[in-house]
Amino acid sequence: MKTRRRKSVMTMRVEGLTLWDETDLYENKHTKDYGYLGEGYGFFTGDALSFCSECSDSEELNEVIDFLQSEDAGYILKSQQSLQNYCDSHLHDHIPYHFNCECWAFRVMTESNVWYLFCTPWNERKAFFLHGFVREPLFAAFSAERGLPESCVGVLPFSGERIRIRFGDGELERFPQFGANMEENKIWADEQNKTRKITIEQQRAMENGAVYGWEKPVALPQNYDKDGFYSPGEEMTKTTWTQRLKK
C-alpha cells in the first residue's frame, strides 16, 4: 500500500450514470465478456489518499485517481471531507447499497475505458471503490439487451449536424464541418448505418436516447415504425413524447 501523489493527468470527464444497469456493476459482470479490468478501494489518512488495487490497466487507473483529485473533477478525492461534500451535492446519484447504507455512483469516461466510482464516505476504511471496464464490450452487452448497436451515426434534430452516438454515453460527437443540411445528412447517416445493418428504428432510438435520456421510451427501437416515426404501444399513447416527436 502506498500513499498517492498527484501527477499530470490526461483529458477525462466525470459524470453520473446514464443506465440503471450500471448500478449493478459494483458486484456483478466482473468477467472478460464485459471487459472487466479490475478494481480497487481507497481511504484517507488526514488529507493523504491511500489506494489498493488489482487492475490490468494500472497506468490509466493511476491517471483516473489523479484526475479525481483535481479541480476538473470537483476535487472528489482530495480528502474525506471533499468526498462527502461532493456526494451530498448529488442527491440523484445515489444507488442501492447493502443494509440501506448510502452509496453514490459516478463514472469517468476515457476513450477506451470507463471507470466507476462507488462512494461510501461514511466508511473510513473503504471510502470509495473504483471498478474498471473496457467501454466497447460493456456497452455492447447493455445495448444488445435493448436491441441496439453499441454505436451508430445520426443527425442532431435541432441543428441538422452529423453526429456519432455511443450507447449509454452522456455526450455526442458532432461534425459541424459537414454543414447543417438536415436532409443531406439524414441520407448520409442512413447509408452509413445501412452498411452496418443498423435499422432506421435503431438509428432513431439512438438519436433520441442520446438527447432525451437512455432510460426514456424514445430510446427503445420497438417504439418506432419501419419508417422511423415514433409509434409506441397503446399503453404509451398518452405520453408527451408521442405528441412531441410526431410534430
pLDDT digits (tens, 9 = 90+) for 121-173: 999 999 999 999 999 999 999 999 999 999 999 999 889 999 999 999 988 89
Q: Domain residues for 167?
A: 146-245
pLDDT at 4 over 80: no
135 shares its domain with 158? no
The mean per-residue pLDDT over the stretch 55-69 comes to 92
19 shares its domain with 96? yes
Provide the pLDDT for residue 199. Answer: 96
State the burial class of residue 164 (Cβ atoms within 10 Å of its Cβ: 0-12, 13-18, 19+). Answer: middle
Measured CA to CA in angstroms, residue 209 lies from 5, 21, 114, 135, 190 at distances of: 39, 15, 19, 18, 17
Provide the pLDDT for residue 223. Answer: 97
Last residue of a domain, one of 139, 170, 185: 139
Provide the pLDDT for residue 73. Answer: 96
Residue 71 grid coordinates: 479541480
150 shares its domain with 113? no
51 shares its domain with 69? yes
Q: Is the pTM of this model over 0.85?
A: yes
129 shares its domain with 154? no
Identify residue 170 by its one-letter amino acid code. Answer: G
34 shares its domain with 122? yes
Tally of domains within the chain: 2
131 shares its domain with 10? yes
The mean per-residue pLDDT over the stretch 38-43 comes to 96
